[in-house]
Amino acid sequence: MSILLRMGPSLTMRRAVSGLAVVLAASGLRAEAPTVAKAAVSAKPDTVLVGAMDLELARAMRSLGTEATGSKNPQPKPYFISYAVSDSEGVSMNAQFGAITSSNASHRRTADVQVRLGSPEQDNTHGDHRASALTSMPLPLGDDREAIARSLWFATNRGYGRALDSYLKVKTEQQVRAKEEDASADFSVEKPATELLPAAPRVQLEKAAWEARIREISGVFKQFPDIFYNTVGLQASSETDYFVSSEGAKVATPSHVARLVVVGRTRAADGMDLFRVETFEADELGHLPPQKELMEKTLAMAKNLEALREAPVTEPFNGPAILSGRASAVFFHEVLGHRLEGQRQRGDEEGQTFTKLLNKPILPSFLSVADDPTVTTFHGTPLSGHYSFDDEGQPARKVDLIKDGVLETFLMSRLPIASFQTSNGHGRAEVGHMPTGRQGNLIVTSSKTVSDAELREMLKAEAKAQNKPYGLYFEDISSGFAVTTRRSPQAFSVVPLVVYRVYVDGRPDELVRGVSIVGTPQEALSRILATDDKQDVFNGICGAESGSIPVSAVAPAMLMSKIETQRQAQGTARPPIVPPPSDRMIAKGGH
């Protein structure tokens, strides 16, 4: 399952801190307590942190397990341990109807400790036990080597206990279960990377100035009485991610993001809830759009919401349609991208839509698809899915997934599959989750392009050929949902926000509401006829089994010969009964 939104659920950029419950490790499974001296006051926090990670990891590898000591109850020694630490600072503020509702700062430092027992061919993560390798714990925020080391020690011991329990279950299950369809190893062998970049600088925020800006933006909605909810949220964070492993990997990478999100909600007279979201993203606060542009786009969004209230509800439709560049980007992310993630090609529960179609055409020959997290911007627009190293310490790299319509590979973490035994730098996760193969910057290119005007005429011609009075144009999208498991229908749903009927008889386009795009992947992908000659960007937050991570998708607008829609839920609540208070009423004490 995946949900793609342009408004992230947390302040951290690459990984969000999750809650955790800490319990004591089982007796007899602990390494000796650390006796690391405190670092000098002059040491840099990142140097102290990496140093503590290095020393504690090496000590855990030496002391955990007893199989080599002649013990009466030998315990296996780990063959792999890694520490992934997310150190993030951020600020957030929100405004509503011209007033500040919250303004906060945060500093979080969290460790994900991964312990593997057995061998890469088969370990405690096998099958349904993948999460058994991971233990998460908050770390001290200060430059205190001893405190950091003791926290890592405690998390590692707890993780070893969990891993041992799972490893014993894996070995028992293998004796009673049928042979697996994909007998690939549980962990790939990779070359360890070493690159310690300087820590990310702290967020610099002119608090009063930005509070004034978001108050002004949110104040736009006061002139629209039917918009009963709005929020303008500013988020800026600075994060450094550290990764060390028993294989010798040692990586530190900084990242920054600034995001302004504008949300408005209204309700039609028939009870249908309607909303719009505008997101502006940059690598730092100073690179967000100027205030004039933000005000203009917010005003246009509010006017569109008012128009949507009066728009007719569309009926279910199966006919030609154009998806705008952003809508097309979400479509490819949901319909195609998730099904090309490596772990979806193995396991009894996965639908494996494209597993057996390697080196075969799955798209029209004029389309190619790559995922390239090394790209930071596209034509000046920052890409949320950019990263230098994935969450398994592997260098990010461009992966050509589909060339001229032919499927060539999958997005790989360090979980091998039958066709591919190594990572290609796409093992990603939110804090507290095991990394899996995930999208970064999914980029769609086309060799069969026409202008926007030509694409529109092609839509009308296709509608006429199908005896349809109109085709649909999907201008803006909020989110999407994909089902990839075997026990459920292999279907997808994409939720548009702004949809127009494009009439073949020359009537003006008509704004409509209440429509969702639905379908099955192979059928939908085979219906693409052509694309326009420019690509657009969609930045968002994607949720799946390894958590919520930032992603981007880049695609041109595309014409589809047939697309199926269904009506959204109608809703039964009435719009607000009493009109909102006016400034004059407030001045008179509500009379």
Helix/strand/coil (H/E/C) assignment for every residue in 372-413: CCCCCEECCEECCCCCCECCCCCECCCEEEEECCEECCCECC
d(CA 403, CA 401): 7
DSSP state of 514: -
Poorest-confidence range of 58-72, 136-150, 162-176, 397-411? 58-72
Burial of 488 (0-12, 13-18, 19+ CB in 10 A): exposed
At 571 the pLDDT is: 73
Rg (CA), the chain: 26
Note whether 382 and 283 are within 8 A (CB). Answer: yes
What residues pair up with 322 in beta bridges, in sequence order? 473, 559
Q: Parallel, antiparallel, or unpaired: how do β-strands 99-119 and 470-482 relate? A: unpaired
d(CA 433, CA 299): 40
Mean pLDDT of the chain: 88
What angle is formed at CA 427 by the lines to CA 422 and CA 433, rounded to 5 degrees?
Answer: 135
CA dihedral 551, 554, 559, 561 (to 10 degrees): -40
**What HEC string does 129-140 produce?**
HHHHHEEEEECC
Mean predicted confidence (pLDDT) in 414-439: 96
Residue 405's region, left for phi above 0, alpha for psi from -120 to 50, else beta, is: left
The tens digit of pLDDT for each residue in 300-343 reads: 999 999 999 999 998 899 999 999 999 999 999 999 999 999 99
DSSP state of 342: G
Mean predicted confidence (pLDDT) in 426-448: 97
* Percentages of the chain per state (helix, strand, coil), in multiples of 5: 25, 35, 40
Q: Residue 524: which H helix or E strand, with range?
A: helix 521-525
Mean predicted confidence (pLDDT) in 366-392: 96
Q: Higher confidence at residue 89 or residue 492? A: 89
The tens digit of pLDDT for each residue in 238-292 reads: 999 999 999 999 999 999 999 999 999 999 999 999 999 999 999 899 999 999 9
Residue 98, both tokens: 């011209």
What phi and psi, each to the nearest 5 degrees, are found at residue 104? -140, 160
Note whether 7 and 261 are within 8 A (CB). Answer: yes
Poorest-confidence range of 11-25, 361-375, 556-570? 11-25
Q: Higher confidence at residue 72 or residue 228? A: 228
At 31 the pLDDT is: 41
d(CA 15, CA 540): 14
Residue in 540, 544, 558 with CA at minimum distance from that of residue 363: 558
d(CA 563, CA 335): 13
At 74 the pLDDT is: 82
Helices of type H across 247-320: 291-310
d(CA 28, CA 56): 19
Cite the beta strand spans of 120-219 per DSSP E.
122-123, 134-138, 194-196
Q: Decide if pLDDT at 23 tops 60.
A: no
d(CA 124, CA 119): 9
Q: Decide if pLDDT at 450 tops 60.
A: yes
DSSP state of 73: S
Share of the chain above pLDDT 70, in %: 88
Note whether 350 and 338 are within 8 A (CB). Answer: no
Poorest-confidence range of 20-24, 246-250, 293-297, 547-551? 20-24
Residue 578, both tokens: 């009493």
DSSP state of 486: T
Q: Decide if pLDDT at 61 tops 90.
A: yes
What residues pair up with 240 in beta bridges, in sequence order? 87, 254
The tens digit of pLDDT for each residue in 160-187 reads: 999 999 999 999 998 887 788 888 999 9
Coil, strand or helix at 166: helix
d(CA 339, CA 337): 5
At 263 the pLDDT is: 96
Coil, strand or helix at 345: helix
Rounded alpha-carbon distances, angstroms, from residue 113 to 139, 424, 429? 12, 22, 13
Distance spanning both ends of the chain, measured CA to CA: 51
d(CA 49, CA 87): 10
What phi and psi, each to the nearest 5 degrees, are found at residue 321? -155, 155
DSSP state of 200: P
Which of 26-30, 172-176, 541-545 is modeled with the greatest confidence? 541-545
The rounded Cα 318 to chain-centroid distance in angstroms is: 30
Q: Decide if pLDDT at 350 tops 90.
A: no
At 68 the pLDDT is: 53
The tens digit of pLDDT for each residue in 88-98 reads: 999 999 999 99
d(CA 190, CA 415): 11
What DSSP string describes 227-294? EEEEEEEEEEEEEEEEEEETTS-EEEEEEEEEEEEEEEEEE-TTS-EEEEEEEEEESSGGGSPPHHHH
